[in-house]
Amino acid sequence: MSRVPYHELKARERLAAIVDPGSFAEILPPPARVMSPYLPKLGIPVAFDDGLAIGRATIDGKPIYLAAQTGQFVGGSVGEVHSAKLVGLLKAAARDRLPCVLLIESGGVRLHEGSSGEIGIAEAIRAVFACRAAGAPVIAVIGSDIGAYGGMGILSACCDFRVMTEHGRLGISGPIVIEKWMGKAAYDSADRALVWKTSGGKTRYLLGDANALVNDDTAAVRAGIARLLGPASPVTLAAIEARQAELAARLEQFAAVTSPEAIWQARGVTDPAAATLDDAETFVASLAPAAP
């Protein structure tokens, strides 16, 4: 099979596959040993990059900043050092008015570092908007096993654009938390089909939370990013009012809906059972024109 599934790759392999060959120049690379001071005290091994590789590169010759999270390392979680690298990168992108691409794979704040990661994510969200104000688009790519949850789900929603694969999930509370809260009858976290229909790329795209839904392979992800490397999405009154109206209409339209399939149908998917299996490209192409 020639396809290289994006979700199969580790953070550094993703970086390498997405940018122009050899163009990635890492900032604070592994030998710099910018590592968590918390984890060793809790008996947990550290990672040289604290689960986040950041740097500069080019896509189609255009310079960008980019970051990639390692989901295998403490769930891709965001601690003090991890968030500080992210904040620094975003500030650099705002300063240089360059696009910033975030390859997200994170369950959110790193609990082992308590409130320091929480504040770090809040700082990163401020920095995302600083980029947007500077006209430098921030693009979140969500297509990994872990997805973008918790604070990183919120941060992703603050970016100019979101590129998702059908494998990616975007949310705040994960299925296990919700199952604990609501009970297994309301949300069985082992029912992976339901989990993906609740937070997965296809549903997010249909509702307008993802700007692009691309196939789970690195070439498609790269192309999805490349298309969005133009102007940023400015935070204007008109844009905010339009979004307010859209989100209000969504809430009203689906107030009584509990099944994701009903949302799919309302958004132009004629046969949800069949469309479930479609790859992203086929799925998007098959949507009735009424869908966003």
Which listed range, 37-45, 223-231, 284-292, lies at the site for other proteins (CB under 8 A)? 37-45
Confirm or reject binding of residue 290 to other proteins (CB under 8 A): no
Among the listed ranges 72-80, 218-226, 284-292, the one in contact with other proteins (CB under 8 A) is 72-80
Closest to 107 measured CA to CA, from 144, 161, 162, 136: 144
Task: Decide if residue 56 touches other proteins (CB under 8 A).
Answer: yes
Residue 290: name the closest of 261, 258, 268 by CA: 268
Of the listed pieces 125-133, 223-231, 284-292, which binds other proteins according to CB under 8 A?
Answer: 125-133
* DSSP calls for 121-143: HHHHHHHHHHHHHTT--EEEEE-
Q: Which stretch binds other proteins (CB under 8 A): 143-151, 223-231, 284-292?
A: 143-151
Q: Which is nearer to other proteins, 84 or 269 (CB)?
A: 84
Provide, rounded to whole angstroms, the least separation between the CB of residue 48 and other proteins.
Answer: 6
Which of 57, 109, 69, 110 lies closest to 225 in space, CA to CA? 57
Q: In whole angstroms, what is the distance from residue 178 CA to residue 130 CA?
A: 33
Which residues does 214 contact at the CB level (< 8 Å), separation at least 6? 143, 163, 164, 165, 220, 221, 223, 224, 280, 281
- The smaller minimum CB distance to other proteins, of residues 89 and 212, is found at 89
Q: Kindly indicate which of the ranges 40-48, 220-228, 284-292 contains the residues binding other proteins, using the contact rule CB under 8 A.
A: 40-48
Part in contact with other proteins (CB under 8 A); list of ranges 65-73, 222-230, 284-292: 65-73
Residue with Cβ nearer other proteins (73 or 222): 73
Closest residue by Cα to residue 76 from 8, 172, 147, 170: 147
How far is the CA of 211 from the CAs of 122, 214, 215, 226, 228, in angstroms? 23, 10, 14, 13, 9
Restricting to residues 217-276, which ones interact with other proteins according to CB under 8 A? 235-237, 240-241, 243-244, 247-248, 250-251, 254, 257-258, 260, 263, 274, 276
SS3 231: coil
Counting every residue, how long is the chain? 292
Contact flag: residue 40 with other proteins (CB under 8 A): yes
187-216 footprint of other proteins as x/- string (CB under 8 A): x--xxxxxxxxxxx-xxx--xxx-------
**Distance between CA atoms of 283 and 39, rounded to whole angstroms?**
43
Which of 16, 20, 23, 47 is in the footprint of other proteins by CB under 8 A? 47
Residue 23 binds other proteins (CB under 8 A):
no
Size of the site for other proteins (CB under 8 A): 120
Of residues 16, 23, 58, 88, which one binds other proteins by CB under 8 A?
Answer: 88
Longest pairwise C-alpha distance within the chain: 56
Per-position x/- string for 149-188, each x denoting binding to other proteins as judged by CB under 8 A, each - no binding = -xx-xx-xxx-------xx--xxxx---xx-xxx---xx-
Strands 52-59 and 62-69, sheet pairing? antiparallel
Q: Please report, as residue ranges, which positions from 90 to 119 form the binding site for other proteins (by CB under 8 A).
A: 91-92, 95-96, 109, 111-119
